[in-house]
Amino acid sequence: MHILFVDDDPDIRTLAIRAVLQEFQDAAVNQASDLVFLERALHERAPDILVTDLDLRWTDGFAVFDRVKAVNPHCCTVMFTGTGNEELAVKAIRHGFDDYVVKGTHQLRRLAMAVRAAHDRNQELRRHSENRELVLKELYHRLHNNLQMVISLLRMTEKTIESERDRVQLADLGRRIQALSALQEEFYRSDDFRRVNVAGVLDRLARNLVKLAGGHVALSCDLEQAEMQVDVAVPFGLMVNEIITNALKHAFPDGRSGRLSIRLARAQERLDLTITDDGAGDPGCMGREGSGLGMRLVRRLADQIGAEVSYERNATGTTCRISLPT
């Protein structure tokens, strides 16, 4: 345990240290009376607990808080100041301080109890956070495994169906579930379960689809690294799955070779994805006029996440553009 005390007044610092150490007898202590000593203390070791005054001749307690949190985001923080009113207390708590104590010799015991309570509460929250992350990681792992099992069952069932039309529909369903599985795998690998590296998802998804289509289409990916909220990444990934599947099916019929290019780039406050093929294509299956299940699904998912989808066909192939706000 390492505690940092920041105060201009050496007498107040001494009294505060003495009081707090009654609760943390084995803690190491460091002090800072100016910016030089603060930077030196932070360079030596990131504190686990910060006790700081508000009004300092060289800065203020909020700036000290920000500097310490930049070194250790999990540091427990208590403001101990003679400038006391309800408005300032609210401001300190909103800024992120765990507690606020008004200075005074009769408040030293209150300071020690506040630091102990804040530290224990901070530790409990960290334990809950770590447990939550472990549970989420296990859930993602199990869901990924279950999706793989469903895909295997669909492929086994597909082989037993005589109707070509029914086999195609079942294979399409399997590809959609495979897209979900690729997303879940990316969530599992991510350090932050709320966001996902969408470039990694698109690269893996596109390569899997090209491989499943027979590998006769050359794939080119130019994907800018971009993170996306999970609740946006899932429908976005499913949209891309439908569009790539549609291109592979209709732009390159009967095993025709060709090239499929995918580009992801930021443009101001939007994220733009371009999918271009140089195949023959069937004009009736492209664009918003498409009536197939895949195109209806794309339109519905686009509306869900506020994305704009457009198609352009010319003599050299077809281009689909997806643009969504970031």
pLDDT single digits (tens) 305-320: 999 999 888 878 889 9
- Asked, for residue 99, whether it belongs to a domain, the answer is yes
Do 320 and 309 touch, CB atoms closer than 8 A?
Answer: yes
Mean pLDDT of the chain: 86
Do 320 and 311 touch, CB atoms closer than 8 A?
Answer: yes
Do 237 and 245 touch, CB atoms closer than 8 A?
Answer: no
- Asked, for residue 144, whether it belongs to a domain, the answer is no
What was the pLDDT predicted at 261? 93
- Asked, for residue 183, whether it belongs to a domain, the answer is no
Q: Whose CA is closest to 227, among 194, 203, 256, 251?
A: 194
Q: Whose CA is closest to 326, among 226, 242, 238, 235?
A: 226
What was the pLDDT predicted at 149? 79
pLDDT single digits (tens) 58-103: 999 999 999 999 999 999 999 999 876 788 888 999 999 999 999 9
**Boundary (domain end) residue, out of 74, 92, 127:** 127
Q: What is the largest CA-CA distance in the chain?
A: 89
- Asked, for residue 74, whether it belongs to a domain, the answer is yes
List the CATH number of the domain containing 77.
3.40.50.2300
- Asked, for residue 205, whether it belongs to a domain, the answer is no
User: Average pLDDT per run of 10 along the chain, which is 326 residues long?
Assistant: 95 95 95 95 95 94 96 95 83 93 90 94 80 67 73 84 86 80 68 76 86 86 88 88 86 84 89 89 47 80 91 86 90
Verify that 122 and 220 share a domain, yes or no: no
What was the pLDDT predicted at 287? 43
What was the pLDDT predicted at 286? 46
What was the pLDDT predicted at 33? 94
**Boundary (domain end) residue, out of 67, 102, 127:** 127
- Asked, for residue 173, whether it belongs to a domain, the answer is no
Domain count along the chain:
2
Do 317 and 281 touch, CB atoms closer than 8 A?
Answer: yes
**Boundary (domain end) residue, out of 109, 127, 145:** 127
For residue 86, the enclosing domain spans 2-127
List the CATH number of the domain containing 239.
3.30.565.10
What was the pLDDT predicted at 16? 96
What was the pLDDT predicted at 155? 81
To the question of pTM greater than 0.75 for the whole model, the response is: no
What was the pLDDT predicted at 317? 86
Which two three-digit tokens encode residue 146? 């279950």
What was the pLDDT predicted at 97? 95
Verify that 9 and 115 share a domain, yes or no: yes
291 Cβ contact list (under 8 Å, min separation 6): none
What was the pLDDT predicted at 131? 66
pLDDT single digits (tens) 97-109: 999 999 988 899 9
Which two three-digit tokens encode residue 17? 């240290």
